[in-house]
Amino acid sequence: MAQARTLNDKELNLLLLYVNTRKHAARDRAMLLMTYWAGMRVGEVAALRVKDVLAADGTMRAEINLTAEQTKGRRGRTVILADKLRKELMQYLRLRFSYIDLTALVASASYHMPLFATQKRSGFNANTAAYHFHMLYKQAGIAGASSHSGRRSFLTKLSSRSVPLRVLMELAGHRHAQTTMRYCDVTADMKRAAVELL
């Protein structure tokens, strides 16, 4: 089975431009960016609750502490949220809960709801989220991409910027270096930059 395609910045921007034309643009954009900018698995994204990203004081958390039940390997891990992703999530929450102040949201039942709701207001599961991503890529005209494309793109991009393997393993939640290395593509730009070091 072929690995999911990694996207470059131009392709990601084209995908996001397509997503912006859709009814649930803010939700879909935030879901995709959780994979591209935090390296999360689609099942982990689907398992998130509002309380996982929104702190008790109504601010966006800098880290998400995933429980064993929320991860593939049944081992909890910490996901670091870049500032740009935190801003995206805050914008999404403000749009989704426009009827309530985010500090008041913490005290409401909505605080424990799925972060990304479907049209029926329930949350995605790993399979429905993977299919949703598949359809977004297909409708955007990006062949070979899947729900794993964001995670692979995240690790490949960090690898191209010389982030140490041990850090990549921690960010991915992998126990073995071989697993992480399978996620990192070698691009033509990376090869060109390498030979220019001589």
**What gap in Å lies between CA 13 and CA 15, rounded to an integer?**
5
Q: Is the pLDDT of residue 1 over 60?
A: no
Residues whose CB falls within 8 Å of the CB of residue 138, separated by 6 or more in sequence, listed in order: none
Judge contact between 106 and 22, C-beta under 8 A.
no
What is the CATH classification number for the domain harbouring 42?
1.10.443.10
User: What type of residue sits at position 99?
Assistant: Y
Could you tell me which residues are beta bridge partners of residue 78? 65
Q: What is the total residue count of the chain?
A: 198
**Residue-range definition of the domain harbouring residue 74:** 1-198
Judge contact between 76 and 67, C-beta under 8 A.
yes
**How many domains does the structure of the chain reveal?**
1
* Average pLDDT along the chain: 90
What does the pLDDT look like over 73-92, one tens digit per residue? Answer: 778 889 999 999 999 999 99
Mean pLDDT of 132-137: 96
Q: Is the pTM of this model over 0.75?
A: yes
